Structure 1
Amino acid sequence: MSTTLKLKLNAFLERHLPERRVFLKSDTDTRFVRLRPGVQLAGLVGCSALLAWSIIATAVLLMDSIGSGNFRDQARRDQHVYQERLNALAGERDARAEEALAAQQRFNSALDRISDMQSELLASETRRRELETGIGVIQSTLRRTMQERDGARGELGDLKSAMVESGNTPAAGPGKDSTLDFLTAALEDTADERDQIEANAQDALRQADDMATELALLRDQNDAIFRQLEEAMTVSVAPLDKMFKAAGMNPDSLLNQVRRGYSGQGGPLTPISLSTMGEDPSPDASRANRILDQMDRLNLYRIAAEKAPFAVPVKAAYRFTSGFGYRRDPKTGGRRMHAGVDFAGPVGTPLYATADGTVIHAGWSSGYGRLVKIKHEFGIETRFGHMSRIAVKVGQKVSRGDRIGDMGASGRVTGPHLHYEVRVGGQAVNPMTYIKASRDVF
């Protein structure tokens, strides 16, 4: 900078910021500090900058406080909406459970009716066969009696002809009279027996007609019962089949695995046979056997559903804070894979097993904090992390709905929540796939 410019700048500052002296006096000495225009300008600029920074910082803090209040209000509103949604889902689940229970009761009642109808059908078939046998015997006896009657009439005619040819009349002697009386009585008895057999045959035919009518009514009733049972089984089995498919599980291979490993009920139900003569099953028997097959499938589905993690691990109020997949790490800010889902709630919120299984880990694990691992069927494993208390031990058998501990903030966390994982064959999968698949079933 040139000397002329410096002089002009100094003169400008002298007009607005003249040089000042500050005297500092003590008991033995007096000193002064010279405040040149440049020093005064530097101090003024510094004070102005400090004042501007204070104003800006105050404004930022005030805006952040207002924004935080808005975020808290929004979070409360979101939590309220989510709680209402959870309540609605819980109500819908309870309604589905009541419908399933009512359908099961109707199914059991219809099954009892089928059993009674089968007993009646067997009794009717036995009675029909007995009547057919009796009618056959009556017809054979009637034919034999009619032949005997015709033979007796022929013999009587021959006897009369022989008596006429020999010149003897029926009144010629007491022996002949007794013979004629005997033959006449025998013919009358034979005629009476024939009439009785004909009457018995007519009664048997009427009873056979009545039995045929009764059998037709029974078949109509059976058809109506079978239709109700088939509809009930379709309504019961179809949602379960859809649930397993939505969870990415093959229903057929799943049921085969359950059938091989489950022996508590002694295998499938015994097929029904209504025939007493070793004949092929009737259409009703075939329909009944198909229903029994569906009942066996429904029972296997029920067993499989207990062994797969279709339940929600938290039954109290919670907030869903993080889903499955890549996300920004809450600690480092980097992008990392989140292998589970997070349910936030107060410390001490009860946690429950989501399927039947065996506890294979119950203790501290780096990052997870207090961790519980449960091994289930079909190669599935569930993990419950960041717990405040563990209520199970390694090797313990648990069922779906058993309490395994409490929610906490142990391990690498920013606040109390449950980190819930589902692993299939050692690979992490989205737990919400199972939870969403079961919403319309349980």
Structure 2
Amino acid sequence: MFTKLRLRLHHFLERIMPEKRLFLRTDSETRFMRLSPISQIIAILGSAAFIGWTIIATAIFLLDTIGSGNFRDQARRDQAIYEERLNALALERDNRSQEALAAQQRFNIALEQVSSIQSALLTSEDHRRELERGINVMQATLRRYMNQREILQVELDATATQIDPENGIAIDANTAQAIGSTMDYVNDTLADVSQQRDYAHARSLRAHDQMASLELEIQFLEEKANQIFRQLEDAMTISVKPLDKMFRNAGLNIDRLLEQIKRGYSGQGGALSPISYMPDGLDVVDPTVNRANNILNQLDKLNIYRIAAEKAPFAMPVKGTFRFTSGYGPRWGEMHRGTDFAAKSGAPIYATADGVVTRAEWGSGYGRVVYVKHAFGIETRYAHMAKIRVKKGQRVSRGQRIGDMGNSGRSTGTHLHYEVRVNGKDVNPMIYIKAGRDVF
């Protein structure tokens, strides 16, 4: 039964695809190879499969090439946009800093003016009090002399009643002269005291007018200073808040960070020193001085953040054209403890923060590797380099070139393996890079 079916299939195929013979001739003999229909069909199917596989592989390769080109172009555009935004933010930060410094200078000038006016007002107040005391003394003197005049008038009237017109008894000449002299002295004294009182009263009125003018000027300067304060406080809020958010997003303890920077930069004095102003040595609380000191504290905090930003790895280790090829996390059953950046061989690799090189050598699977120790217990690692450009113990700055991108060690292609470790524990480097992007 099987043989009959095979013969029928053979005859059917013979009609569609006749048997062919392939002759192979040499100098001494001639041979031939018989190609049955089934062999021809198998050969055709094999050729078709090979051609189809070639077409599919070529299409996949072309699509991958086109996709990679588009990805590189997109990466270039994203990099250009990022650098543009970085430059704009840096320019805006510089402008804000200049505005803050200019506003601080205006505030210092206004504070000096307010202080001088307050001193003049206090001097005027003391002068007014002295005038009031002088007026009171002159009024008391005037009352005393008036009382004396009244007493003398009573004595004069009593003496006059002692005169006897009928007998022609007169007052002694010496007595009359003494009484007249006394009356003249009293009248002159009263006139002089009255004149001094009028003069003191006029001076008191002028002092009151000067005080009213000074109070108006102080009110104007206080409004001007309040406007300057508001501008400074707004500038501080705009400048300090993003930095505060950046450090918190990076998982750093803000209070500990500020304290550590202050210990390293503990010089005293200068423009950011707290203001201490107590008129006449009085221990009083001045809201204006407190407000100014709050702004100075914010400026000091901004300066500390600027120093800390240079010491923490917020920058990118590569610039120009590159692409992310692998992120932090599990990969192929193992933990990938960093982020990979792919670029052309020899591309510059930069330190992401200020620090000291603790290792610059061949590191087994890392290949040529550089370790940099930073502040706050942070360490960064740069692996698979083609060339190392720093030495152990060397101090480096953020943005300084430390090596060239390569393919050394256990690597499948040209790239940089970048790690961040805090107190010896690896963390995702993108936490710092993304936090820095929000500000820089």
TM-score (norm 2): 0.85
Give the letter for the 1:250 counterpart.
N
* CA deviation vs aligned residue, 1:166-198 (integer Å, no higher than 9, x gap): 245999966655544333222211111110001
1:80-229 aligned at under 5 Å gives the runs 80-167=73-160, 168=171, 177-229=180-232
Match of 1:79 among 68, 72, 77: 72
Instruction: Please give the alpha-carbon distance, in whole angstroms, between the structure 1 residues aligned to 2:115 and 2:21.
Output: 128
3-state SS in 2 of match to 1:393 = coil
User: Are the structure 2 counterparts of residues 349 and 268 from structure 1 closer, same or farther at C-alpha, using a change threshold of 3 Å?
Assistant: same
Instruction: Please give the alpha-carbon distance, in whole angstroms, between the structure 2 residues aligned to 1:267 and 1:160.
Output: 74
Q: In structure 2, what is the equivalent of residue 293 of structure 1? A: 297
Match of 1:425 among 411, 423, 434: 423
Instruction: Please give the alpha-carbon distance, in whole angstroms, between the structure 2 residues aligned to 1:85 and 1:19.
Output: 64
Instruction: Please give the alpha-carbon distance, in whole angstroms, between the structure 2 residues aligned to 1:107 and 1:67.
Output: 58
3-state SS in 2 of match to 1:342 = strand
Question: 1:316–1:350: 8 Å Cα contact kept in structure 2?
Answer: no
Q: In structure 1, what is the equivalent of residue 163 of structure 2? A: none
Q: In structure 1, what is the equivalent of residue 364 of structure 2? A: 366
1:316-395 aligned at under 5 Å gives the runs 316-328=320-332, 335-395=333-393
User: Are the structure 2 counterparts of residues 187 and 73 from structure 1 closer, same or farther at C-alpha, using a change threshold of 3 Å?
Assistant: same
Question: 2:79–2:320: 8 Å Cα contact kept in structure 1?
Answer: no
* CA deviation vs aligned residue, 1:177-227 (integer Å, no higher than 9, x gap): 554433322221111111000111111111122222222222222222222
Q: Could you say what the CA RMSD is over the residues aligned between the two structures, in angstroms?
A: 3.4
Q: Indicate whether 1:246 and 2:244 are aligned.
A: no
Give the letter for the 2:416 counterpart.
L
* CA deviation vs aligned residue, 1:127-171 (integer Å, no higher than 9, x gap): 222222211111111111111112112222322332343245999
User: Are the structure 2 counterparts of residues 126 and 292 from structure 1 closer, same or farther at C-alpha, using a change threshold of 3 Å?
Assistant: same
Question: 2:75–2:321: 8 Å Cα contact kept in structure 1?
Answer: no
Instruction: Please give the alpha-carbon distance, in whole angstroms, between the structure 2 residues aligned to 1:323 and 1:371.
Output: 19
Q: In structure 2, what is the equivalent of residue 304 of structure 1? A: 308
Instruction: Please give the alpha-carbon distance, in whole angstroms, between the structure 2 residues aligned to 1:317 and 1:380.
Output: 27
Shift of 1:392: 0.9
Shift of 1:306: 1.3
3-state SS in 2 of match to 1:361 = strand
Give the letter for the 2:67 counterpart.
Q
Q: In structure 1, what is the equivalent of residue 60 of structure 2? A: 67
Gaps of 5+ in 2: 161-170
Shift of 1:118: 2.1
Gaps of 5+ in 1: 329-334
Instruction: Please give the alpha-carbon distance, in whole angstroms, between the structure 1 residues aligned to 2:20 and 2:398.
Output: 87
Give the letter for the 2:357 counterpart.
V
Shift of 1:22: 9.8
User: Are the structure 2 counterparts of residues 197 and 171 from structure 1 closer, same or farther at C-alpha, using a change threshold of 3 Å?
Assistant: farther
Shift of 1:397: 0.7
User: Are the structure 2 counterparts of residues 342 and 170 from structure 1 closer, same or farther at C-alpha, using a change threshold of 3 Å?
Assistant: farther
Q: In structure 1, what is the equivalent of residue 166 of structure 2? A: none
Range with greater deviation from structure 2 (174-183 or 188-197): 174-183
Question: 2:342–2:415: 8 Å Cα contact kept in structure 1?
Answer: yes
* CA deviation vs aligned residue, 1:395-421 (integer Å, no higher than 9, x gap): 011111111122222223333222111
Instruction: Please give the alpha-carbon distance, in whole angstroms, between the structure 1 residues aligned to 2:375 and 2:271.
Output: 21
3-state SS in 2 of match to 1:415 = coil
Instruction: Please give the alpha-carbon distance, in whole angstroms, between the structure 2 residues aligned to 1:228 and 1:436.
Output: 30
Question: 1:273–1:281: 8 Å Cα contact kept in structure 2?
Answer: no
Shift of 1:23: 10
Shift of 1:312: 0.6
Instruction: Please give the alpha-carbon distance, in whole angstroms, between the structure 2 residues aligned to 1:68 and 1:87.
Output: 28
Shift of 1:58: 3.4
What fraction of aligned residue pairs are identical, expressed as a percent?
39
TM-score (norm 1): 0.85
Question: 2:156–2:179: 8 Å Cα contact kept in structure 1?
Answer: no
